[in-house]
Amino acid sequence: MTRKTAADLRSHRWFGKDDFRSFGHRSRAKQAGFSAEDIAGKPVIAILNTWSDANPCHMHFKMRAEDVKRGIWQAGGFPMEIPVLTLGETFMKPSTMLYRNLLAMDAEEALRAYPADGVVLLGGCDKTVPALVMGATSANLPTIFVPAGPMLRGNWRGQILGSGTDAWKYWDEKRAGLLDDCAWREIEDGIARSFGTCMTMGTASTMAATVDALGLTLPGASSIPAADSSHPRMASAAGRRIVDMVWEDLKPRDILTTEAFENAVTAAMALGGSTNAIIHLVAMAGRAGAVLDLDRFDALSRRTPFLANIRPSGKFLMEDLYYAGGLRGVLDRLRDLLHTDCLTISGRTLGEEIEGALVSNDAVIAPRAQPIGPEGGVAVLRGNLAPDGAVIKHTAAERRLLQHAGPAVVFKNYNDLAARIDEPSLPVTAESVLVLQDAGPLGGPGMPEWGMLPIPKKLLQQGVRDMVRLSDARMSGTSYGACVLHIAPESFVGGPLAFVRDGDIIELDVPARRLSLRVTDEEMARRRGSWTPREVAYPRGYGHLYARHVTQADKGCDFDFLEGTAPIGEPEIH
Ligand code: FES
């Protein structure tokens, strides 16, 4: 392997030359308190930090950035921490998905504009993971991802609580009149116990695992709980490794091949991962020049057994997964379904990195001979209601609903739903199919996580806890139920979902991967003819840019001008 020399470093253009601008850069490094010995000839390692008071999942990133710096100094690098936009899933409205591409742009442009030779990405809360990876892939500098890690298990009156999943569950109990205010407040106190990401197999856990399976983290890093002392040790090890990666010139596009993305999908399916992973992985693959579409996703899901018994599809939480053997244990049990020759950031193959992984608890990570389910958690549906596809997390739904036909109860947007869902006069039964329109990438806008439509109160009181629900929205990875999501094209742009009316019969057939509307083509054409598109909500600003360039769900919702691998030149320094 040929190694770079100091003169080959990208940062050499800033610090190594004998000219006026380099004088300025060196003098400003000294202004920050660094002497010539601190920086001369060393790789500059950017640490893109998504720490913020607005993101409780990242509260430990101030400390972790210091852990990463410790490793960088030890290995002979020069750390440069750069704050970037954070996407705090719980506080940011209308949806963090609206801003995923903004963080991706922030990350890419920060890396291009500053003298970075390599980068450590600090992210974890849902969209921060794909956004940082998308930006770093487009910048294509040596990259390591340090995942925030899951928070500790929640606790209430001796019961284990899982993020999101148990909030939805007990909220339904409260709406059904089975839980009092005191108990509800205790759950509020106990469900989010530490810094770190949601500890169910929600979007954060899923995306961290996929980035791990892609080979962009230290092996198994995604499973380490945020509050475990292994976590800062992992962070400083990442700091040491990134310096070597710069000298080796090992870059994201050397790692992010089509085969690596297939490994990531396989991992997500075996974990019962979030449906959001589909959108993000398609977008990430688009930045790497890899090939991944919905049909390949479905094919991989069909042949991958569901092994990780984690909520919302299973029983345990991320802490249990870590103790049982973590992602390396899961991957080792999938070895024959993986491209084990894929390169990882360690410079070794995925197969080498999972060698010797042990599983200590088969109840959490099921053996191949006794999987929790024969196939992966997500199915891709097509039909006259979703010509470009839709998805369902069928492992998190009541099985009786996976083949179901019923009359539609249509809500034209979320406000309409909120106003009417609990009306005693709503003409709805347990057999009905709830339909939400205008909640997609443009309609939401930002494709909010509204896809787990609430069960009408009167049905809750009858004991109904799941029913078929349809939308062009997304769903939190911690959510559950027979919810068909990501219907494309979305209703806002005139997809068939826009023309569904109350009483239309909708047929869902997950084994056949079909979603159908029993309305004739002639009648659909008639409804389309009388349809008036709604105005885009943003006359100016970022939303205006978003509305002009965001792609549909089946294409990953990236901006069309950010896709691909066309090279962009280095900035001029004069
Ligand atoms: Fe941050 Fe779930 S809210 S990971």
Q: What does each of the 574 residues of the chain score in pLDDT, given as a tens digit?
A: 789 999 999 999 999 999 999 999 999 999 999 999 999 999 999 999 999 999 999 999 999 999 999 999 999 999 999 999 999 999 999 999 999 999 999 999 999 999 999 999 999 999 999 999 999 999 999 999 999 999 999 999 999 999 988 998 899 899 889 999 999 999 999 999 999 999 999 999 999 999 999 999 999 999 999 999 999 999 999 999 999 999 999 999 999 999 999 999 999 999 999 999 999 999 999 999 999 999 999 999 999 999 999 998 899 999 999 999 999 999 999 999 999 999 999 999 999 999 999 999 999 999 999 999 999 889 999 999 999 999 999 988 999 999 999 999 999 999 999 999 999 999 999 999 999 999 999 999 999 999 999 999 999 999 999 999 999 999 987 788 999 999 999 999 999 999 999 999 999 999 999 999 999 999 999 999 999 988 887 899 999 999 999 999 999 999 999 999 999 999 999 9
Please give all residues whose beta carbon lies within 6 A of any atom in ligand 1, as ranges.
57, 89-90, 125-126, 163, 197-198, 202, 204
Distance 321 CA to ligand 1 centre (A): 18
Q: What are phi and psi of 51, to 5 degrees?
A: -65, 145
pLDDT of residue 119: 98
**Can you tell me which atom of ligand 1 is nearest the CA of 163?**
2
Distance 272 CA to ligand 1 centre (A): 17
**Can you tell me which atom of ligand 1 is nearest the CA of 204?**
4
Distance 204 CA to ligand 1 centre (A): 6
Distance 379 CA to ligand 1 centre (A): 24
**Can you tell me which atom of ligand 1 is nearest the CA of 89?**
3
pLDDT of residue 2: 84
Rounded to 5°, the CA angle 346-79-7 comes to: 80
pLDDT of residue 397: 92
Do 367 and 300 contact (CB within 8 A), yes or no?
A: no
Identity of residue 459: L
Length of the chain: 574
Q: If you take atom 3 of ligand 1, which residue's CA is the nearest one?
A: 89
Distance 352 CA to ligand 1 centre (A): 31
Nearest to 311 by CA among 191, 407, 144: 191
pLDDT of residue 361: 98
**Can you tell me which atom of ligand 1 is nearest the CA of 56?**
1
Give tens-digit pLDDT for 233-255. Answer: 999 999 999 999 999 999 999 99
pLDDT of residue 164: 86
Distance 286 CA to ligand 1 centre (A): 25
Counting Cα atoms < 13 Å in the Cβ hemisphere of 203 gives: 28
Q: Exposed, middle or buried by CB within 10 Å (0-12, 13-18, 19+), for 181?
A: exposed
Exposed e or buried b per residue across 280-307, where buried means at least 16 C-beta atoms within 10 angstroms of its C-beta = bbbbbbbbbebebebebbbebbeebbbb
Cis peptide before 142 (omega within 30 of 0): no
The structure tokens 């090992």 sit at 250
Do 535 and 528 contact (CB within 8 A), yes or no?
A: no
The structure tokens 């939303």 sit at 543
Q: What does each C-alpha distance from 259 to 127, 262, 503 come to in angstroms?
A: 23, 5, 45
Distance 56 CA to ligand 1 centre (A): 8
Do 486 and 390 contact (CB within 8 A), yes or no?
A: yes
**Can you tell me which atom of ligand 1 is nearest the CA of 197?**
4
3-state helix, strand, coil in the chain (%, to 5): 40, 15, 45
Q: What one-character DSSP code corresponds to residue 521?
A: H
**Can you tell me which atom of ligand 1 is nearest the CA of 202?**
2
- For ligand 1, mutation pick of 93, 95, 125, 168 (most atoms within 8 Å of CB): 125
pLDDT of residue 536: 82
Distance 448 CA to ligand 1 centre (A): 14
Q: If you take atom 2 of ligand 1, which residue's CA is the nearest one?
A: 198
**Can you tell me which atom of ligand 1 is nearest the CA of 126?**
4
Distance 53 CA to ligand 1 centre (A): 14
Distance 76 CA to ligand 1 centre (A): 34
Nearest to 201 by CA among 376, 402, 354: 376
Distance 416 CA to ligand 1 centre (A): 27
Compute the distance between CA of residue 386 and CA of residue 524 in angstroms, rounded to an integer.
13
Q: If you take atom 1 of ligand 1, which residue's CA is the nearest one?
A: 125
**Can you tell me which atom of ligand 1 is nearest the CA of 478?**
2
Report the run of H or E that residue 261 belongs to, with start and end. helix 258-270
Do 276 and 100 contact (CB within 8 A), yes or no?
A: no
